[in-house]
Structure 1
Amino acid sequence: MGRLVVVSNRVADPRKAAAGGLAVALGEALNKTGGMWFGWSGNIIEGGTPGEGELHQQQSGPVKLATVDLCREDHDSYYLGYSNGVLWPVFHYRLDLAHFDADHIGGYRRVNQLFARKLLPLLKDDDVIWVHDYHLIPLAAELRAMGCKQKIGFFLHIPLPPQLILAAIPQHEWLMRSMFSYDVVGLQSEADATHFSRYAEAEMGAEALGEHRYRAFGRTITCQAFPIGIDVDEFAALTHAKEGRDTYLRMKEEYHKRRLLLGIDRLDYSKGIPHRVRAFRELLKLYPENRDSATLIQIASPTRESVDAYTDIRVELEGLCGAINGDYGELDWMPIRYIHRNVARKRVPGLCRAAAVGLVTPLRDGMNLVAKEYVAAQDPADPGVLVLSRFAGAAEQMKDALLVNPYDTQGTAETLQRALRMPLEERQQRHQKLLAGIRAQDVHWWRRTFLEVLEQSGS
């Protein structure tokens, strides 16, 4: 393979990335090929000219890091306005939260054109380009328009919704047609791949050629599922490292009389956290033996707090937790421990290992790696139980979890009770199968498989 060029909204230094992160997985291939990572610098230039931005380059070992500044107008329209104000909610099936503004799509196109102009002169003839996520869907089309001939792959880290939801986006035809400028389009799940197929055939008249290949607009592309994984051994090692071990021992000591249920999420409306809390309240109502016995620890990391939808969910969640603690709490027991701040990654494995039940119940999610991290952190001799939303991409692979519909409050509560009462032998069997699955399709498998398909595309 030629040099790997990774393009994403933000650039990470592979040498500084947290263990198990995307940067580490991509860093292996970047280091091997003397690759380049290109994206936004994170700098916002007040008063800058739209469509312009200074290019910065630096070396990180064998890897070149190339970044571009954005002016305030471009950042607000491309990033806040279109990427996170339109694509994020629509792709998570929340049309009601999308803000369609013609100026925003103009900024989105302008920044993708800027990235293409800055990237093109840095490319070599045998480069293999891998573009990541919804911020940069049209980047290949802009590069092709400027004469780029290299192989270009794209991976969407969030869900791809069904045809009729996609069709609600103004200028959806332009957005989706731009995907045919890639050689390979990677999605998280088979459900997402089906959505692409139906959209491509119905809306764009694409011809399905078999073996995940489609032809339209004079181009043939491959589109298939490449479910992303974690570095299982790396995360398991963190469980036994000092911070992870200390966290585990502290939690076991503090909650030695309780059974812990754990949720770790960004505070995002797609994660279904209020639905989860209501299900826990229903558990306490329907199965009173869990009062003074079960504790839910819910970590909800801050994100995009300037957006009204996130302010609303924080107010709702804090009200719910306060009401449940008020209704059911005792002097020496609070049903819910709600934490609205980031928890150090090195402590997360210890939290996971201490929890009898891991709650991963998004309303919609591309994959959700917390589910896989929870499994990797467990003690095989006495593992906890993963309760997983059927609407997470991970559910396609992790069928030995207890799958739930997060909209069904009572059904989820009944599943929580089943998880808390599950016999040891069943817990061990389920964990063994889950662990084997996430090992077989770990993050290295994901990277290797995608790049192999990209290398073979067009041949």
Structure 2
Amino acid sequence: MRLVVVSNRVAAPDGEGKTAAGGLAVALRAALQQQGGIWFGWSGKVTDEPAAQPTIVRRGKVGYAVVDLTAVDRDEYYLGFANRALWPNMHYRLGLTQFSRAEYSGYMRVNRRFAEALAAILQPSDLVWVHDYHLIPFAAELRRLGVTNRIGYFHHIPWPPIDVFGALPGCQDLLLALTAYDLVGVQTARDAGNLVRAIEEAGPEARQRLDRGALKVAAFPIGIDTMAFHAAALRAEDNSVVQRTMDGLAARDLVIGVDRLDYSKGIVERLESFERFLIANPDRRGNVVLLQISPHSRSEVPEYEQLDRQTDSALGRINSSLGDPSWTPIRFIKQAYTRPVLAGLYRHAAVGLVTPMRDGMNLVAKEYVAAQRPEDPGVLVLSRFAGAAEQMTEALIVNPYDKFEVAMAIGAALLMPKDERISRWQALFEGLRRQDITWWTRTFIDALARK
């Protein structure tokens, strides 16, 4: 049985451009290497006349099959409907959801074109695993082409309640298309419940497929490569970037946040929560620093440009009002760091501040815990609206909308006795070790194969 992974973008193989360092890419590539298979998706390139057939590069037992998009395809499918309609809606941001029928048509058109390209190279026994919100209609398009393979879908971001998702034009068609999958996986039990209720309200055809067991919806909380990340953090203690960063802190306590610059991450609210902490604890001024690492994301979308300006405004106000010539309260970095550097910084941080307004899982929370020193770990402060909060109950769970609550949690984390920090960390780490990325990959593939 060959595994076929389908995602919006394909993680390039070694020797073909930049190799993705993310844990998901590593895990999926390992699963493909084990079973043999194909990784299919967009090449990331824009061309005037994309070829109908995918370009395939083989590395061992894995074929990397990619297709190009036109500029209109990219604008309507990716920048448009996927990231200006689906993304904000599924993160409960109705005020930012922008629907365009042209962009919706482009989204459906690209899914149809992708399905036609993949169908040409599918084998009857292939197991197809589709990833994320860019490709909700993908299985329905394959079924229209006569494909009868088992097809699974994993949704990496939140699935909102029907009252939220139902505000999106075309939502019923998307829900009906989703029932063409054999197995749909989401991050949390809450997401699974939201999705099942939405399908039940999508009409008799969708409801019947769910009722007779043709479609299964279940939570498969994604993990990380726990032991590998823990080892990387240990090695990174001597990393030159990590050492320079820690030398610059001059023995001050480090609070760290790492996120893409995205409105779902609550970055402005996090800066203001740290401000509240410093105002309430004047004795801590000068001996604690928040390091926020937030690379730019989707800069072509206007909402992200606005967020960039809001972040700069909050940062300038806080640093100018609370800082002094010898101490800058918040250091804000807008460039990406490598995973080894991040692992080393996590290991030195007394507090991991992970406070998204809404998140499917949030792997930063898991990486922060995995990176800690067992004998002297830091404390995770985690948003109740991150999917990780369903598993990581030993963290300090907070409401990111309540800046006073987050500020109090920062203070509690910095003052927490070592024995309590160790106890909380041990429970968190054991959960991460038990349900790691290999467990997640194997569990989903086994469930799909049994379907």
* TM-score where L is the length of structure 1: 0.94
In structure 1, the partner of 2:139 is: 140
In structure 1, the partner of 2:275 is: 281
In structure 2, relative to structure 1, the CA distance for the partners of 1:53 and 1:81 (3 Å cut) is farther
In structure 2, the partner of 1:177 is: 176
- Contact residue 244 and residue 349 of structure 1 kept, 8 A: no
What is the aligned-residue RMSD (CA, Å)?
1.8
In structure 2, the partner of 1:26 is: 28
1:346 aligns with 2:358: no
In structure 1, the partner of 2:264 is: 270
- Give matches, 1:51-200, under 5 Å: 53=52, 55-200=54-199
- Contact residue 13 and residue 64 of structure 2 kept, 8 A: no
Superposition deviation, residue 428 in structure 1: 0.3
- Contact residue 160 and residue 196 of structure 1 kept, 8 A: yes
In structure 2, relative to structure 1, the CA distance for the partners of 1:120 and 1:207 (3 Å cut) is closer
User: Stretches of 4+ moved more than 6 A in 1?
Assistant: 206-209
Q: Structure 1: which amino acid aligns with 2:95?
A: D
- Contact residue 20 and residue 234 of structure 1 kept, 8 A: no
Distance 1:123 1:329 in 2: 60
What SS does structure 2 have at the residue aligned with 1:65?
Answer: strand
Question: Which deviates more from structure 2 when the two are superposed, residues 83-92 or residues 27-36?
Answer: 27-36
* Sequence identity (%): 48
Distance 2:199 2:92 in 1: 19
Distance 1:77 1:229 in 2: 32
Give the paired residue count.
448
* TM-score where L is the length of structure 2: 0.96
- Give matches, 1:438-457, under 5 Å: 438-457=432-451
Question: Which deviates more from structure 2 when the two are superposed, residues 97-106 or residues 244-253?
Answer: 244-253
- Give matches, 1:417-436, under 5 Å: 417-436=411-430
- Contact residue 356 and residue 383 of structure 2 kept, 8 A: yes
Superposition deviation, residue 203 in structure 1: 3.1
In structure 2, relative to structure 1, the CA distance for the partners of 1:404 and 1:205 (3 Å cut) is farther
1:335 aligns with 2:329: yes
Q: Which of 26, 35, 38 lines up with 2:37 in the alignment?
A: 35
Superposition deviation, residue 185 in structure 1: 0.1
Q: Structure 2: which amino acid aligns with 1:327?
A: S
- Contact residue 179 and residue 206 of structure 2 kept, 8 A: no
Q: Which of 349, 358, 361 lines up with 1:355 in the alignment?
A: 349
Distance 2:10 2:2 in 1: 17
- Give matches, 1:252-263, under 5 Å: 252-263=246-257
Cα deviation 1:268-315 (Å, max 9, x = unaligned): 000000000110000011111111111111111111112211111111
Distance 2:432 2:13 in 1: 23
Superposition deviation, residue 55 in structure 1: 2.4
In structure 2, the partner of 1:223 is: 217
Superposition deviation, residue 20 in structure 1: 5.1
Superposition deviation, residue 33 in structure 1: 1.9
Question: Which deviates more from structure 2 when the two are superposed, residues 374-383 or residues 338-347?
Answer: 338-347
> For structure 1, which runs of at least 5 residues remain unmatched after alignment?
none
- Contact residue 236 and residue 242 of structure 2 kept, 8 A: no
- Contact residue 244 and residue 348 of structure 1 kept, 8 A: no
Superposition deviation, residue 215 in structure 1: 2.7
Distance 1:355 1:175 in 2: 43
1:374 aligns with 2:368: yes
1:390 aligns with 2:384: yes
What SS does structure 2 have at the residue aligned with 1:154?
Answer: strand
Cα deviation 1:195-243 (Å, max 9, x = unaligned): 012112233347989xxx9237xx7111000010100111112112357
- Contact residue 19 and residue 235 of structure 1 kept, 8 A: no
Distance 2:91 2:439 in 1: 26
In structure 2, relative to structure 1, the CA distance for the partners of 1:206 and 1:120 (3 Å cut) is closer
Distance 1:203 1:179 in 2: 11
- Contact residue 175 and residue 206 of structure 2 kept, 8 A: no
In structure 2, relative to structure 1, the CA distance for the partners of 1:208 and 1:109 (3 Å cut) is closer
Superposition deviation, residue 67 in structure 1: 0.8
Distance 2:248 2:142 in 1: 56
1:5 aligns with 2:7: no
Cα deviation 1:228-268 (Å, max 9, x = unaligned): 01001111121123576444443443324311100011000
Q: Structure 1: which amino acid aligns with 2:282?
A: P
Distance 1:24 1:393 in 2: 21
Cα deviation 1:29-48 (Å, max 9, x = unaligned): 211222001111111113x4
Distance 1:33 1:442 in 2: 19
Distance 1:137 1:326 in 2: 46
Distance 2:422 2:315 in 1: 32
Distance 1:21 1:437 in 2: 17
- Contact residue 360 and residue 387 of structure 1 kept, 8 A: yes
In structure 2, relative to structure 1, the CA distance for the partners of 1:331 and 1:401 (3 Å cut) is same
1:214 aligns with 2:206: no
Cα deviation 1:371-408 (Å, max 9, x = unaligned): 00000110011100000000000000000000000000
Cα deviation 1:117-169 (Å, max 9, x = unaligned): 11112011110000000000000000011100110000001110001111111
What SS does structure 1 have at the residue aligned with 2:298?
Answer: coil
Superposition deviation, residue 53 in structure 1: 4.5
- Contact residue 248 and residue 353 of structure 1 kept, 8 A: no
